[in-house]
Structure 1
Amino acid sequence: MRILVTGAYGFIGAHTVAALTAAGHEVVCAVRGARLDTRFPGLAAVACDMARDVRSEDWLPRLAGVEAVVNCAGILRERGADTFAAVHEQAPLALFRACAQAGVRRAIQLSALGHAEDGAFIASKHRGDSALMALELDWLVLRPSLVYGARGSYGGSSLLRALAGLPGLLPLPGRGGQRLQPIAAEDVGAAVVAALARPAVARDVLELVGPDVLSLRDYLLAWRRWLGFGRARTLAVPAPLVRLACALGEHLGRGPLGNTMARMLERGNLGAADAVDRLHERLGLAPRSLQRALAEAPSQVQDRWHARLYFGLPLLRVSMALLWLGSGVVGWLTPPADVLAAAADGLLPAPGLLALARATASADLLLGALCLLRWRPRLVLALMLAMLLGYTVAIGTAWPVHWLDPFGGLLKNLPLIAALALLLATEEHR
């Protein structure tokens, strides 16, 4: 079966694509810019933009030869043109209307478990579900609970892994009593495959949940054991502090901390009492327990690195940004006489040396600010690395005596170069 998958490169989307491919289906990935993801060699990709493709005419050409569509597109927070209304409601509805016009009967919607009062994310997802339900299609809405992956993580699942991996300490929002029914990402993909194999299972809403109800504390402890870390002292984090951290994350617009995560950390995330039985009855699916899923995929050293670096890398980035800002400030505040004293050897004329010092100070200020704001981070980090390499080579060659500075002024550039290379190498988050 030829299947169009939107949001194909996201965390849930990628597992769905992998499951469909393993089941022998022909997958067409509908992604922004039609970029080819090297994780899926040989798969076709078509361009789409869930923020702008809000007319059925936008989708009709992409449905040529398609027999079913699976919508995995979603955002945790709004940013620019990527609004909940566009990505969760208008664009999916345009796609599903195009399906009706093109004769593509089967439409599967990956939604989210929760209640509309949990926030704008859930409310918009459910409005998108309702719009699909009003169409004459063989639709099926799947609403996953907290989705995790033992073979990789993204967003909120990465954050929870990182909390579980903190050295000697396990912070618990509230007291960690929130109840969850987590489901493995592989089982979400299996549910989509099973749904396509059972066309009679249509016009229904199924909650994708795991078989066990766990407290957040037990969930984090399970991941800590899986990572191979020792016992930790638990620390109850008061609810107001949790809300403050989530509000700050929402304001900054980066990472999984935000209003959506705040609701889950306060209310938990449970399905209906018969959700697991309905999955087995309707799809023949028996999701694995967290314990079994983790036992089937033992952790590797890379998992431990990722958990421990999750909070460390942002701190390293901020410290680098502050270093560049400080360097720029010092460069501008240094009196001209002190700058020109370095021109005594005659390598550069005094006016040229002063202009160069002020220009590099301005560049330091600009790059430090952009790094702090995370504007095009790969480009900014690359420019910072290039500047540092340029400083080191130029000063080390023109004034080699600086290598012998008792405070190691030039030698300190070497670990800074390594730190920037590390930030640049780990900038990719998906």
Structure 2
Amino acid sequence: MKKAVVLGAYGFIGAACVRALQADGYAVCGVGRSLESAKKIFPDLVWIIRDISQTLESDWKELLGDADVVVNASGALQDGTRDNLNAIHVGAVERIVSALSGTHATFVQISAAGVSDDAPTAFFRTKAHGDAVVMASATNWIILRPVLVLGSEAYGGSALLRASAATPCIGGRVFADAPIQTIHVDDLAAAVAHAAGGKLGTHFVADLGETETHTFAELTHRIRSWLGYPKWSAEIEIPEWLLRLVGTGADLLGWLGWRSPLRTNALRSLKSGITGDPSHWQERGGLAVRSLEETLAAIPATAQERTFSRMYLLLPLAIGCLSVFWLLSGLIGILSFENAKSVLTERNVSSGIAAVAVIGGIVADLVLGAAVLVRRWSRKACAGMILVSGAYLLFGSWLAADLWSDPLGPFVKVLPAILLAVFVAFLLEDR
């Protein structure tokens, strides 16, 4: 049985490639940097847990020495705490193709339509540099450049597209005339498996996508219809200065670990359009690619799709609300320290113990309010919020049970805060 190794195998595109290669009879091994994420997607797959941007050429020679096919489906949209574009798109590719030099393996590089050395974003420029490394190598290489990839799984740009199409009543128009082509993720994966089998030869570059081009406005309307929502009552043109502001905010959040599809690179890419020329793929005898209508027909929208589309919009608002709530609680505790102490001292708690309790509460509030904004700590912060709130209600009921009947509801208001923390913790999934 032939062996295939897929880099980025638990990602949106990588996972589809794993399934397509398995269907073609390959024994597939996945490469990814998170064992937890890997096991969620393919619990029975053989996994190599590595950060590809840090893996040495000597390690790649050992890991890929018996591979017949190597598929590079890894990538990142923008630099951040977790990602370095040059390291992932160029440095890692240099070491991989060097390790494969002189072997019989076919190396399939999944790039992106529109890459060039003078592209407007670092994503496209580094992808172009990585492609150039592949083309100059001594491997049996193939480079496939898909357009906008859609599928039943919503992640990144495809998740944002669903969310923007699901806004209630009023829609926002952004880059309405930007040209867009699409491809079903399964068509992309089938193309990878087809090319990897040697049916089309090697040493070629091909764009992958449907032949028809849509404007972004048309695509958004079609996705809204696919979700089952009626036409918007009105549409508002979103000014570019506001989009730039949103992109800058998303970039800053990227340094806290949030890989938002609203980052500057994504917005610039969308503004430029996402199109390719699939003629070379067709001329080589490549598999047919479905149109947008056929793609959407193949992934019918369900209640889960509609719920996800709305929840995707609400999650960042919910996280922001939690952060503001806890940070303000801590700041108000600092500003009203004596009043906070008096709640306990008036109920026969010693001044020293009351001061320690108030200070502890202030520190916990500020730490949790800040921690929920950091991606790798956000779920733990939610768990901390639930525990601290529970302790607050427990000890508060013991020491000051009368506050349950207070007209301002200091205890009652904690209950929806707990529920909001539970809601955010359950929705914090990368894949």
Per the normalisation by structure 1, the TM-score is: 0.93
**Corresponding residue number in structure 2 for 1:264:** 269
Q: How does 1:295-306 map to 2 (within 5 A)?
A: 295-306=297-308
The Cα shift of 1:197 comes to 2.3
Distance in 1 (CA, whole Å) between partners of 2:302 and 2:30 is 30
The Cα shift of 1:350 comes to 2.3
Q: Is the 8 A contact 1:143 1:206 kept in 2?
A: yes
Q: Is the 8 A contact 2:9 2:73 kept in 1?
A: yes
Q: Is the 8 A contact 1:133 1:203 kept in 2?
A: yes
Specify whether residues 200 and 300 from structure 1 end up closer, same or farther in structure 2 by C-alpha distance, changes over 3 A only.
closer
The Cα shift of 1:243 comes to 3.0
Query: Deviation string for 1:25-76 (max 9, x for gaps)?
Result: 21101111555423213210012212212x3212112124321100011000
Q: Which amino acid aligns with 1:141?
A: I
The Cα shift of 1:257 comes to 1.5
The Cα shift of 1:230 comes to 1.2
Distance in 2 (CA, whole Å) between partners of 1:323 and 1:110 is 43
Which of 138, 141, 151 is the matching residue for 1:139? Answer: 141
Q: Which amino acid aligns with 1:220?
A: T
For structure 1, which segment, 418-427 or 281-290, has the greater mean C-alpha deviation from structure 2 after superposition?
281-290
Q: Which amino acid aligns with 2:238?
A: V
Q: Is the 8 A contact 2:333 2:358 kept in 1?
A: yes
Residues 1:223 and 2:223 aligned together = yes
Q: Is the 8 A contact 1:33 1:46 kept in 2?
A: no
Distance in 1 (CA, whole Å) between partners of 2:200 and 2:163 is 42
Q: Is the 8 A contact 1:182 1:290 kept in 2?
A: yes
**Corresponding residue number in structure 2 for 1:4:** 5
Distance in 2 (CA, whole Å) between partners of 1:120 and 1:365 is 36
**Corresponding residue number in structure 1 for 2:247:** 246
Q: Is the 8 A contact 1:279 1:286 kept in 2?
A: no
Distance in 2 (CA, whole Å) between partners of 1:154 and 1:195 is 25
Q: Is the 8 A contact 1:321 1:371 kept in 2?
A: yes
**Corresponding residue number in structure 2 for 1:292:** 294
Q: How does 1:275-354 map to 2 (within 5 A)?
A: 275=278, 277-336=279-338, 339-346=341-348, 348-354=349-355
Distance in 2 (CA, whole Å) between partners of 1:376 and 1:91 is 28
**Corresponding residue number in structure 2 for 1:362:** 363
For structure 1, which segment, 140-149 or 11-20, has the greater mean C-alpha deviation from structure 2 after superposition?
11-20
Q: Is the 8 A contact 1:207 1:271 kept in 2?
A: yes
Q: Is the 8 A contact 2:326 2:369 kept in 1?
A: yes
Q: Is the 8 A contact 2:200 2:285 kept in 1?
A: no
The Cα shift of 1:6 comes to 0.5
Q: Is the 8 A contact 1:20 1:193 kept in 2?
A: yes
Aligned structure 1 segments of 4 or more residues deviating by more than 6 angstroms: none
The Cα shift of 1:323 comes to 0.8
The Cα shift of 1:338 comes to 5.3
The Cα shift of 1:337 comes to 5.8
Distance in 1 (CA, whole Å) between partners of 2:106 and 2:244 is 40
For structure 1, which segment, 415-424 or 191-200, has the greater mean C-alpha deviation from structure 2 after superposition?
191-200
Equivalent pairs counted in the alignment come to: 422
Per the normalisation by structure 2, the TM-score is: 0.93
**SS of residue in 2 equivalent to 1:142:** strand
**Corresponding residue number in structure 2 for 1:197:** 197
Distance in 1 (CA, whole Å) between partners of 2:138 and 2:412 is 69
Specify whether residues 115 and 128 from structure 1 end up closer, same or farther in structure 2 by C-alpha distance, changes over 3 A only.
closer
**SS of residue in 2 equivalent to 1:407:** coil
Specify whether residues 336 and 48 from structure 1 end up closer, same or farther in structure 2 by C-alpha distance, changes over 3 A only.
same
Distance in 1 (CA, whole Å) between partners of 2:205 and 2:110 is 10
The Cα shift of 1:324 comes to 0.5
Distance in 1 (CA, whole Å) between partners of 2:27 and 2:379 is 34
The Cα shift of 1:286 comes to 1.0
The Cα shift of 1:421 comes to 0.4
Distance in 2 (CA, whole Å) between partners of 1:203 and 1:92 is 16
The Cα shift of 1:301 comes to 1.2
Query: Deviation string for 1:330-369 (max 9, x for gaps)?
Result: 21222426513523333x3221111111111111012112
- For structure 2, the 5+ residue unaligned runs are none
- For structure 1, the 5+ residue unaligned runs are none
Q: How does 1:96-107 map to 2 (within 5 A)?
A: 96-101=97-102, 103-107=103-107
**Corresponding residue number in structure 1 for 2:397:** 396
**SS of residue in 2 equivalent to 1:376:** helix
**Corresponding residue number in structure 2 for 1:123:** 125
Q: Is the 8 A contact 2:67 2:105 kept in 1?
A: no
The Cα shift of 1:264 comes to 2.4
Q: How does 1:377-392 map to 2 (within 5 A)?
A: 377-392=378-393
For structure 1, which segment, 203-212 or 20-29, has the greater mean C-alpha deviation from structure 2 after superposition?
20-29
Distance in 1 (CA, whole Å) between partners of 2:35 and 2:93 is 18
Distance in 1 (CA, whole Å) between partners of 2:251 and 2:370 is 20
Q: Which amino acid aligns with 2:301?
A: S
The Cα shift of 1:23 comes to 2.5
Distance in 1 (CA, whole Å) between partners of 2:53 and 2:196 is 27
Query: Deviation string for 1:237-280 (max 9, x for gaps)?
Result: 233333332233223323011232122222111112xx1x4333
